[in-house]
Every structure is written in structure tokens, then in C-alpha cells.
Structure 1
Amino acid sequence: MSPAVTARTHLIERAAELLGDPGGTQDWRAVRPLAPLAADAAAQGPAKAEAAVPPPVIAAETLREAGLVMAGDRPARSRAVEEIAVVQHQMLRTVQEGPRAGTPQGRIVLVTSALPGEGKTFAALNLAAAAAGGAAGVVLVDMDGREGGCSGALGTAGQPGLRQLASDPSLRPAGMPLRTAVERLTFLPHGSAGDGAEAGGRRDLPSGAAMAAAILRLASALPQHVIVLDTPPSLSTSEASTLASIAGQVILVVDAERTQRNEVEAALDLLEACPVLQLLLNRARFSANDTFGAHGDYGAPDAG
């Protein structure tokens, strides 16, 4: 993965430049933590801390099976881990310094793709987990709801989630995300379909405006949290285009070996209501020797 960020000179040209010169320098400024957690139960003693923190709902093994590369028994350093760290660094910097910084919209990160199968759910899960280390909290939201998507992979299909929040304005958003084994990372499932809905279906799906309003309520209810949206492909449904207007940044995942230029351009046109559009090149093949992992496994025991 490699991030390509610009105000849109055109993004495609900038991505091509990045692939042509993967050794180009970047001005990576230090990202400060967004804010400490409001309360630290550990300060009240081990017994109270243990009682105050319930066991995680979504276990580490489930997260690993869903594609989380940073989980427990995997190497602390790998090419994938390092590349994800670079992208989430840029993501948090945009939260802090982007055009909508300081507003609920500025903490909303929309992850999408032009087409299905480009790796957007994998990217959303791993970016959300990585960002949880530098934020007071991160909520990963399944906006997609397709069969085999994030809710199913995390074992939460059928549980209340986004659908219910969008359909019932009286619900309190802050208590709905589920805890995970990753500290400060929670997950809001897509939510169960209503009775009589089509299988896997979208017939009873709340309107885009209702879903956007629900996400804004969630961001307002959790004022220190980053909200990462795993959104359907932008050329498949209208959700990504609708939500772009309330997001602080869009991360468009692009299969570098498959997606055509005209498809990326069409997706960008649909997402231009967001002030910050970024490309995340997935499955890119670099020939240079200065990419992550080209000089061996730094994290190995015998590394110098």
C-alpha cells in the first residue's frame, strides 16, 4: 500500500509519479495524540480497573481471521504493518490539520473503492486498528453490509447497528459500538435487516441522508473519536457519494494492477464533495530497492 495525497492536480498523475519514484521524500511531521481518554480506570487501582473494563466482544482471533495484520502472534514488523503505519499517520494528520479539523466532519474518514474486490474492507479494518494507537478512540463502521463483509467477518451479522441508528433518531449512538480486543477500537455493525427484507438485502436500507445524519450523530456523541467508514464501492451504490459531503477525508483504495484510469476518475468525480481525496494504491508492484521490506526483516532477532 502507498498513499498518494493531493488537492487534485489530478490525482491520477500524482499516483503515477509516486509509482515512478517510490524513493521520493515525504515531509512526515510527528502526529500528536488527538486527546487522552476522559477517564483512566487504572488510576483507581487494579481491582477497580478490572471491574471497569468488560471483556472484549470481538476477540483477537476473530480480528486476525478478518484480516487484521497487526494482531498478537504476527511479527511486530513486516512490510504490510509498516505501510499501514505510514498511511494511518497521514490519515491522523489530516484529521488534525485538514480543512475540516476541529469539527465532527473532520474526524470522519470515508474508505471506499471504485469497484468491488479492491481491498477497501481490509484497508479500513487495518487503518482503524492502527489509528487507535494514536487517538482517544476509533469507531470502525460497516456501511456496506454485503454478505461476507466486515460485519459477517467479525461475527456481528444480525446485531443492532447502523441501520437501527439511522432508522431511529431516539437511539443513543455512543453505547452502540462493540468493544474489540484492540484497545480503543470499537466496531459498529451494519445492523440487521427488517422483517420481510430481501436476503442480504438493501430494499429496507435507510436513505443516504438518514445514514449521513446517523454518522454525524455518532461523531458528535463521541467527540474525541475518529470514525472510519467502510463504505460500498463508489461505482456500485450512491452511499459513498452521499457521505463524501460529511467526511473530512476520503481514502480511495485502488487495485494498482486491475482498476482502469477511467474508473478511478469516475469514482473521484463522485467523491469530490469531500475537501481531501487520497489514493491508497493496493497490490502495487515496485521494482526499486528502497521500499519497505527490501533490505530484510528489521524486526528479526539477528537484525543489526
Structure 2
Amino acid sequence: MSIIEKAAGRLEPNKAAVVPPIDATIVTPVVERKHEIRAEKKAALEELGKTNTRKVEIDIEQLHRLGMVTPDGARTSIAEEFRLIKRPLIEKAFSQKGKPIHHGNLIMVASSLPGEGKTFCAVNLAISMAMELDHTVLLVDADVARPSVPRYLQIRAESEASEIGLMDVLLDDNLDLADAMLKTNIDKLTLLRAGRSHHRATELLASQSMIALLSEIADRYPDRLIIFDSPPLLLTSEARVLASQMGQIVLVVEAESTTQHAVKEVLHQLKACQNVNLIYNKAKTLSNGDYYGRYYG
């Protein structure tokens, strides 16, 4: 049995007015035009040798204190675990084995309920993947109601512009994805914050603008892996909407805490997704009793 176990699929009269035909060749849908504007803006910036992407500093010592994966490549237990976890995800993302997966490089890390360690796993997975020689990583804080990624990384907003994130790009046609992305001091790791909270977050995540944005994120750079830290699946509709647009899903299950009923309920909700994987988190080690991520095997 592999380190990450595949789980998906196991459970369960008025007459119309006559109008002249419209020339479809001159009609451009709003979403497509928005995508074109972003592409044109990006091309212009590249031509001028400019970039809108800002840089933030991740507190590496904080990662050490929390017992997380760090970019120095230290061979800790947690680093080795995530080396094993990321490999099949990367293989599926780029169709290295088996048939291609649509947007296989879009990977959502979720949990049934809060406190199971999904953000811990999402951040560790993103940093571990950023250590790959052939890939770059975008970590998206998609828990728009309770964003946690900045807390783990100890990133503080230096200005109002630094707070721009996913929801802002969806709400503002004048914002490009590059306007919201934050480069970090970890090579090959970029961050996209959640952005402003919005009462119609579910509708925004299900919108055509979001679909276009995901396509842009997935396809703009063929070597990029995108990790989404999502809201808990049993508490929010946003997470279920986001899951329907992902190529792969990683479900974090807390050892000795998450009930079997909760896991079955979530897997039932995700039955349409063909690539669902489980992480068994916070299991005790046999050597010293410390807690850290240990996974289905």
C-alpha cells in the first residue's frame, strides 16, 4: 500500500421575438476578455522588464520551532515524510505515470473540520515541493473566512497592497494575478493570500471568473504546482465548490480525533473527484511519543 492511499469512489407561451442573427466572431464573453486583458498586461510588463510581484520574508526560524519542513533540506522525520507524500502527487500532476489528469497540478489540501492540521500539511507540502529542481510552487490561502497561512509563515502585511489576494482578483477586473502574488525568500515558492473577506465567497469561487483564473494559474507555467489550503469541508460550502475544480485533493485526517462518520461523509461529498488522497496526521511516533504528521501506508 502506498504512502498516500487513493480513496475516491469507495463510498458512495410566449412567442419569441424575431431578432437578427448576431455575428459570433465579434462577440467576446466578458470572462474571455478579462483573461485577454490580463495576458496583454503581463506581456507588456515582461516586454518592459518589469514585474508586479512583491517579496515577503518567511520566518525560517519559526518553521524550525514548529517542527516543519525547512528549505535547508535537513533530513528530519517530517521532511522525509513529506518527501514520500509529494512524489505520487507530482507524478499525477504531470502525467509521469498513467493517463493525464485535467489540471492535475491544482492540489487542494482540506480537512473535515477545523484543527486537523490541514494548513500545517499544506505549508509543509508546498515547501517540500519547492525544493524540487524542476518545479515551482504557488501556495494559495483559499480559506477566505479564516486564513491561516500567514500565521504559520509569520508574514505580516507591510501595507494595504500586501493584503491583496484571491478574493480581490475575483472582485476587481483591474487586478491581475501578478498584482496579488508574493514572492518569498524560499526559492521557487510564491504565495497568494486569501484577500478580503466577502459575504458571497461561495458564489465567487463558483463563478466563471474563478474558472478562468484557475485555468490561468494551472496553464501559465507548465512546471508549476499549485497548493490550495481550503476551508473545512463539513463547515463551509466554499470548500466543496473549490474541490469540484481541483485536479487532486489531499484530505487530512487527525489521528484519534476525526470520526469515521466524518471521513465517510467527506468522501461521499468528494465522490465525483477521481483523485482523493488521505493524510493521517498527528499520529504518535513509536520512538519518543512526539506528535508529527504520519501518513497512511
Report how many residues are paired: 239
CA distance in 1, matches of 2:169, 2:54: 24
Within-5 A mapping of 1:82-101:
82-97=80-95, 101=100
Identity fraction in percent? 32
> Secondary structure of 1:259's partner?
coil
- Any idea what the Cα deviations from partners look like across 1:43-96, whole Å, max 9, x if unmatched? xxxxxxxxx9x99412343762794723267x8122111111111112212212
Indicate whether 1:208 and 2:212 are aligned: no
Distance 1:7 1:216, change over 3 A: same
Tell me which residue corresponds to 1:263: 262
**Aligned-residue CA RMSD (Å):** 3.3
Within-5 A mapping of 1:99-178:
101=100, 103=102, 105-134=103-132, 135-147=134-146, 149-154=148-153, 155-156=155-156, 159-178=163-182
Q: What residue ranges of structure 1 are gaps of 5+ in the alignment?
A: 12-51, 194-201, 294-304
CA distance in 2, matches of 1:254, 1:149: 18
Amino acid in the other structure paired with 1:57: V
Q: TM-score, normalised by structure 1?
A: 0.68
> Secondary structure of 2:100's partner?
coil
Amino acid in the other structure paired with 2:283: A
Residues 111 and 252 of structure 1 are in contact (CA less than 8 Å); yes or no, is this contact kept in structure 2?
yes
- Any idea what the Cα deviations from partners look like across 1:4-50, whole Å, max 9, x if unmatched? 32254738xxxxxxxxxxxxxxxxxxxxxxxxxxxxxxxxxxxxxxx
Q: What residue ranges of structure 2 are gaps of 5+ in the alignment?
A: 12-50, 293-297
Residues 68 and 122 of structure 1 are in contact (CA less than 8 Å); yes or no, is this contact kept in structure 2?
no
Residues 113 and 253 of structure 1 are in contact (CA less than 8 Å); yes or no, is this contact kept in structure 2?
yes
Residues 111 and 252 of structure 2 are in contact (CA less than 8 Å); yes or no, is this contact kept in structure 1?
yes
Residues 104 and 248 of structure 2 are in contact (CA less than 8 Å); yes or no, is this contact kept in structure 1?
yes
Residues 234 and 267 of structure 1 are in contact (CA less than 8 Å); yes or no, is this contact kept in structure 2?
yes
Residues 113 and 120 of structure 1 are in contact (CA less than 8 Å); yes or no, is this contact kept in structure 2?
yes
Amino acid in the other structure paired with 2:130: A
> Secondary structure of 1:207's partner?
helix
Residues 113 and 232 of structure 2 are in contact (CA less than 8 Å); yes or no, is this contact kept in structure 1?
yes
Distance 1:179 1:62, change over 3 A: farther
> Secondary structure of 2:56's partner?
coil
The Cα shift of 1:244 comes to 2.0
Within-5 A mapping of 1:170-249:
170-193=174-197, 202-205=198-201, 207-210=204-207, 211-249=210-248
The Cα shift of 1:147 comes to 4.3
Greater Rg by CA: 2
The Cα shift of 1:232 comes to 0.3
- Any idea what the Cα deviations from partners look like across 1:258-299, whole Å, max 9, x if unmatched? 0001100111112223210000000124659xxxx9xxxxxx
CA distance in 2, matches of 1:189, 1:99: 33
Tell me which residue corresponds to 1:28: none
